[in-house]
């Protein structure tokens, strides 16, 4: 009997919510509490604006909110830990109370993640795949929360991108498991835009299904990325259609979560793609 996606990937609990992999595509809404986001949507220290955006995303059908306080745009410098906490923690705390979907913290700093979990976050999104601080895995294991592990090539480029992404994710997964993270709490992300060339980013989307060999749900973040700008010659605020195309193709190639800036529109893209790819028709939520 052929194994289904759900039987291979199982179920991941995130707070009070279960992600039942294979049943549909889940939408992660991006909350950038930074003044210098590449996408033009950075909210800086405006807690009220960030909370309002999160509430709106939840109403538009987001399944999870990802709060980040340090810009990941190319060339962006890091910020001190206390500054990142000052941006992130008040927003996480408010959103955890005001929305009925889980909140994720986008950080590679263990103390930021710890305080975010204490404030109500129920997922860790590590853009360095534990290569900056393996203690994030200890934290994820201690709290019993899922962790997203990204393949990041910014420290060293590569020529053969898919094998490199798979190899780096295998190493990150092994590290997570060695630190006690349950298999079902690991999610992988190929890291579109993080140290890859345009051609490599396009190849990742085209060959995303090859990451299924890892046996874990795949998150992809193409939303407003530079690869869309380079192909279409458009600024971030005009990359909606390019994002929609990349999201739809990613779903056809096996994406389980899409991380997006434009929740309402991408929710519709997911619903239509799921109807075609998974044979599933659903209401807005």
Question: Catalytic amino acids?
Answer: 225, 259
Residue whose token pair is 């259609």: 241
Buried b (16+ CB within 10 A) or exposed e, 51-78: bebbeebbebbbbbbbbbbbbbeeeeee
Selection from 76, 102, 79 nearest residue 17 by Cα: 102
| Measured distance CA(41)–CA(35) in Å, rounded | 9
| Measured distance CA(175)–CA(191) in Å, rounded | 18
| Token duo for residue 7 | 């039987």
Residue whose token pair is 């092994």: 174
Rg (CA), the chain: 17
């Amino acid at each position: 009997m052929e194994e289904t996606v759900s039987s291979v990937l199982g179920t991941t609990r995130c707070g009070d919510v279960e992600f039942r992999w294979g049943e549909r595509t889940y939408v992660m809404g991006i909350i950038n509490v930074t003044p210098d986001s590449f996408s033009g949507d950075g909210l800086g220290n405006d807690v009220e604006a960030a909370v309002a955006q999160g509430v709106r995303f939840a109403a538009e059908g987001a399944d999870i909110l990802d709060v980040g306080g340090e810009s990941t745009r190319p060339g962006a410098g890091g910020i001190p830990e206390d500054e990142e906490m000052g941006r992130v923690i008040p927003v996480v705390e408010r959103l955890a109370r005001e929305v009925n979907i889980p909140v994720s913290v986008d950080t590679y700093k263990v103390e930021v993640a710890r305080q975010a979990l204490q404030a109500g976050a129920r997922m860790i999104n590590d853009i360095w795949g534990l290569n900056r601080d393996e203690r994030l895995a200890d934290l994820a294991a201690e709290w019993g929360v899922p962790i997203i592990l990204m393949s990041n090539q910014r420290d060293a480029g590569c020529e053969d991108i898919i094998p490199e992404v798979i190899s780096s994710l295998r190493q990150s997964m092994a590290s997570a498991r060695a630190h006690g993270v349950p298999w079902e709490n690991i999610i992988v992300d190929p890291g579109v835009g993080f140290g890859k060339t345009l051609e490599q980013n396009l190849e990742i989307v085209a060959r995303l299904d090859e990451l299924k060999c890892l046996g874990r749900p795949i998150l992809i973040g193409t939303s407003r990325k530079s690869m869309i700008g380079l192909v279409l010659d458009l600024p971030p605020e005009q990359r909606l259609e390019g994002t929609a195309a990349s999201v739809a193709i990613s779903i056809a190639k096996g994406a389980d979560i899409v991380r997006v800036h434009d929740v309402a529109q991408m929710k519709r893209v997911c619903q239509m793609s799921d109807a075609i790819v998974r044979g599933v028709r659903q209401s807005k939520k």
